[in-house]
Amino acid sequence: MTRLLSAAGVLAGAALFWAIATSGIHAQGSRLTLPDWTGIWAMQGPTVFDRASVQPPNGRAGEPGVRETPPYTDEWEARYRRNIELVRQGKFPDPVSTCGTPHGFPRIMNVPDVYEFAVTPAAVYVIAENGPNVLRIYTDGRKHPAAEDLWATYNGASVGHWEGDTLVFTTISLKGSKDSDVIVDRTGLVLSDASRATTRLRKVDENTMEAQMVIEDAKALKTSWTVTKRYVKQPPGTWAWDYACAENNRNPIDASRRTLTLGPDGKPLDK
């Protein structure tokens, strides 16, 4: 009888241990099996943020007259139109031209060069070679910090969880654009400091990653705005490199907001 009780105790203990262990894993938002997002990836298409609505259809960000159609409020639509006019005049400089600030979210999902998506049990890191930029998404079960513990940043604060092999994360506490100091793309697209997004990041197939962003902005948008970006896997063995933007930046911005070209002696070539 003693032996029987002992065996039952061992079994009960093992079951309890397993229950605690697995509940602990789930409580931390972690998983026993994580998806394999290994590789080097490059965004599909040019850096127009919402390619589904861009006009003209093949328009590129930075070309005069190119625009998208986010569900802006009247006030922010007017602001966008002013920015488009500044693009036309060559006076809508890209803030990253200073080599001093990151692109910020959601623009980090919309940059050239290559990406890596690093999956760990407690966090996922979106590493953009251009910038460089890192988007940290914590998946360890934590919540967003309390409002009094937050301050607006370029990439905000992101927490996420796994739904199967899809990472679902919410990003809050973004700086938004004050004086076009943070932009979404070079058409003049901007969001406010009330913007936030829920993103579904997944591997569509072996060679394709997809980020579907549902963006909300109580100041700038009338309704939510869904934008999908895709990333194509690069050949095996592809390298990502340092992108030291300040190494030899020959394109400063002058007081009139023009982007200059410096000669090899460091003096402006612009006349």
Where along the sequence are the contacts to other proteins (CB under 8 A)? 46, 60, 62-64, 87, 90, 92-94, 96-97, 99, 111-114, 129-130, 186, 234, 238-245, 247-251, 258-259, 261, 263-264, 269-271
Q: Cβ 15 to other proteins, closest distance in Å?
A: 53
Q: Where are the beta strands (DSSP E) in 65-217?
A: 114-119, 123-128, 133-138, 157-163, 166-172, 195-205, 208-217
CA distance 142 to 71: 32
Residue with tokens 């400089």: 93
3-state SS class at 55: strand
The first and second tokens of residue 41, run together, are 């990836």
Q: Cβ 251 to other proteins, closest distance in Å?
A: 5
Q: Is the peptide bond before 106 cis (omega within 30 degrees of 0)?
A: yes
Instruction: Output 25 or 245, the one with its CB closest to other proteins.
Output: 245
CB atoms within 10 A of CB 129: 19
Instruction: Output 86 or 119, the one with its CB closest to other proteins.
Output: 86
Instruction: Output 38 or 261, the one with its CB closest to other proteins.
Output: 261
**What DSSP string describes 152-173?**
-BSS-EEEEEEETTEEEEEEE-
Instruction: Output 48 or 157, the one with its CB closest to other proteins.
Output: 48
Q: Cβ 82 to other proteins, closest distance in Å?
A: 16
Instruction: Output 186 or 203, the one with its CB closest to other proteins.
Output: 186
CA distance 101 to 72: 26
Instruction: Output 164 or 266, the one with its CB closest to other proteins.
Output: 266
Phi then psi for 78, rounded to 5 degrees? Answer: -65, -40
Query: Residues for the chain: how many in total?
Result: 271
Chain-centroid distance of CA 210 in Å reads 12
Instruction: Output 163 or 254, the one with its CB closest to other proteins.
Output: 254
Phi then psi for 88, rounded to 5 degrees? Answer: -60, -35
CA distance 57 to 67: 10
Q: Cβ 185 to other proteins, closest distance in Å?
A: 10
